[in-house]
Structure 1
Amino acid sequence: MRIALHEVTKGKKGHALPATSLEIETGHARFVLVETELRPTVLGLIATGRMRPDSGEVTIDGARNAKELRRRTALVDAPEVSDPHPGVTLAAVVGEELMFAGLPATPVHARRWLNDIGFGELAAQPIGTIKPSVRVRVMAELAVLRDDVEGFVLVSPDRHGGRPEGWWRIATEFADRGFAVLVIVGGSAAAVIERLPEALETDYPSNATVPVRPLADVTGQTALLPQADPVAEPAEDPVAEPVEAPEPDGDQDSVVERAERDETPRSEEPGEPDPAGDRVSSRSPSASSLNDPGEASDEPDPAAEPPVVDTDTGPHADTDTDPTNGAER
């Protein structure tokens, strides 16, 4: 699988996301440097087919197919979209993800799954207190439980602190297992990753903004893509795949609306966000996880059973969704 983004932008005059091009493919972990609070999430949504760019294009194996892209990729731990509420216990997060992967999802099954990957003793601990590298390991393992997922985008793991080497090497392990991995990071983390021995010794560029090969379709023929006019207003693509999306959650702002509000001068009107959707139930903490972090409850929270599922792709908000794949991010 190869995913290519060519000159994608979001928001009026690219305020939510300026023109960005990158490539990722099966068997490789790559990083891309994206600064500010909200742009990493916007890029993650676009790279996984959960948000339409205002200009540019996104292809998977040389074709423009947002539905296929959503089915085969996951969006992991994106702020404001798929990151669990910090007060929810690790077992509760695991249980919800097991359910969306079509697996048994009781508290017992969640603890058993955590035991299997070596973190059973952390089941009752709020995820907001989990060591960054452990958090990345757990969230990534949950993301690839679904049979269709061939790659994932991990958003801003450096915001949790810790040493970048820890979670970056976890990303490379998943690449060695045959997944396509993109990690969106800030400048400090990117500087560390670039100086790791494995990054210096490999002939494969770890930075996703360095093309693997020229943009190509599935036959291997180079595709020449027209350059966007820098002064022209982006036009709506007449052949873009229509995406059916649910009503946005009224309780939280759109990622793009927030980016526009933060980035756009007051005299300009914010651009309209693309409709999008993802499950968000793990963003609301249960009473037991907040009041008694030392003890996990076997009784499911009445307010969370069945979990509140806004859409089909994880605790993401305001994203384009595929109603046939409720486990995607």
Structure 2
Amino acid sequence: MLSVQQLQINGRRDDLLPATSLQVHRGELMLVAGEGQDQRTALALALSGRMKPSNGVLSWDNTTKTKKIRLASALVDSPGVNEPEQHLSVRDLVTEDLSLIPRRYRGALLSKPWLKVNSFEDLAELWIEQLPAGRRLELLTALALADPATDLLVIDSPDRHSADPGTWLPRLQALASDAGRPLAVVAVVGALPDNWTGPAAVIGNSVAYPPEPEAEPAPSPTTPAAVVEPKAKHAADTAPETAEEPEIENLQRTAK
């Protein structure tokens, strides 16, 4: 099983590969969608053990050693990495790829017998650029599987050669479900086909975004100030000032 947890690769400014997690079992095809070609290629390189991630954990059959993952996997048709040169003939491509297989597995370096056994004789004299999208994928995946040690296939952007999923999806499904050689197959694509209901993931599905700031509570309505009523005057304060007039009259009478 291929297990990927928080796999991330730094870039110059932004992440070349934002944190991504997924799991793929043998006998299973997983499609991983990503908008940018750089991100798709970075993920394909990391999954096949050909690029060291900056963070996260990548394991294949419970091993995290990059060398073992690389030996067990095949990276197929990655643009700018190992896609076939357009001016190369199919015959020359087969000879070149067979030479990369470990000596104990490859046998004689003859393209003609291999092309015949794998039913690609009709393509032998064509240039790579002349191949239809479906036949191109069939040829490149067959070459990848010429190494019997390959148990994990990582295909980089097979949909870039055709907008019709029918040119690449059935081939990958057939490879994953082959009971004679169950493979874990990952295809990194620009977008998931509309009718796809199988295992799928999206590049950047494990990015941790900072929590949004909580909204400040609305201010409570201002309580009107209490009206302070004037204190009632004391009874003595309210007495009329004429209360002293009788004493004044008595003094006047005495003076007379």
TM-score normalised per structure 2: 0.72
User: How far off its partner does 1:207 sit?
Assistant: 0.9
Q: Kindly provide the amino acid, as one letter, of the partner of residue 10 in structure 1.
A: I
- Within 5 Å, which residues of 2 pair with 1:1-329? 2-12=1-11, 14-101=14-101, 102=103, 103-104=106-107, 106=109, 109-161=110-162, 163-177=164-178, 178-187=182-191, 190-194=192-196, 199=197, 205-208=198-201
Distance (Å, rounded) in 2 between the aligned partners of 1:63 and 1:193 = 34
Alpha-carbon spacing, 1:229–1:41, altered in 2? closer, same or farther (3 Å):
closer
Distance (Å, rounded) in 1 between the aligned partners of 2:72 and 2:115 = 24
Alpha-carbon spacing, 1:18–1:228, altered in 2? closer, same or farther (3 Å):
closer
Higher percent of residues as strand: 2
- 2:135 aligned counterpart, secondary structure: helix
Distance (Å, rounded) in 2 between the aligned partners of 1:183 and 1:119 = 23
User: How far off its partner does 1:65 sit?
Assistant: 1.6
User: How far off its partner does 1:166 sit?
Assistant: 2.7
**Contiguous gaps of at least 5 residues in structure 2:** 211-256
User: How far off its partner does 1:89 sit?
Assistant: 0.6
* Larger of the two Rg values belongs to structure: 2
- 2:37 aligned counterpart, secondary structure: coil
Q: Kindly provide the amino acid, as one letter, of the partner of residue 207 in structure 1.
A: A
- 1:165 aligned counterpart, secondary structure: helix
Distance (Å, rounded) in 1 between the aligned partners of 2:3 and 2:202 = 10
User: How far off its partner does 1:52 sit?
Assistant: 1.0
- 1:191 aligned counterpart, secondary structure: coil
Alpha-carbon spacing, 1:130–1:186, altered in 2? closer, same or farther (3 Å):
same
Distance (Å, rounded) in 2 between the aligned partners of 1:4 and 1:86 = 34
- 2:134 aligned counterpart, secondary structure: helix
- 1:74 aligned counterpart, secondary structure: strand
- 2:57 aligned counterpart, secondary structure: strand
- 2:4 aligned counterpart, secondary structure: strand
Distance (Å, rounded) in 2 between the aligned partners of 1:72 and 1:105 = 22
User: How far off its partner does 1:162 sit?
Assistant: 5.2
- 2:99 aligned counterpart, secondary structure: helix
Structure 1: 4+ residue segments shifted above 3 A: 227-231
Q: Deviations over 1:231-250 (max 9, x none)?
A: 8xxxxxxxxxxxxxxxxxxx
Alpha-carbon spacing, 1:113–1:149, altered in 2? closer, same or farther (3 Å):
same
Q: Report the aligned-residue RMSD.
A: 2.2
Q: What is the aligned-residue identity percentage?
A: 27
**Contiguous gaps of at least 5 residues in structure 1:** 200-204, 211-226, 232-329
Q: Answer whether contact 1:168 1:193 (CA < 8 A) is retained.
A: no
User: How far off its partner does 1:63 sit?
Assistant: 3.3
Distance (Å, rounded) in 2 between the aligned partners of 1:192 and 1:230 = 28
Q: Answer whether contact 1:32 1:208 (CA < 8 A) is retained.
A: yes
Distance (Å, rounded) in 2 between the aligned partners of 1:29 and 1:69 = 18
Which stretch shifts more, 37-46 or 162-171? Answer: 162-171
User: How far off its partner does 1:105 sit?
Assistant: 5.7
Distance (Å, rounded) in 2 between the aligned partners of 1:52 and 1:230 = 24
Paired residue for 1:277?
Answer: none
Distance (Å, rounded) in 1 between the aligned partners of 2:77 and 2:195 = 20
Q: Deviations over 1:144-196 (max 9, x none)?
A: 11121111100101111152123111111111221110011112xx13351xx
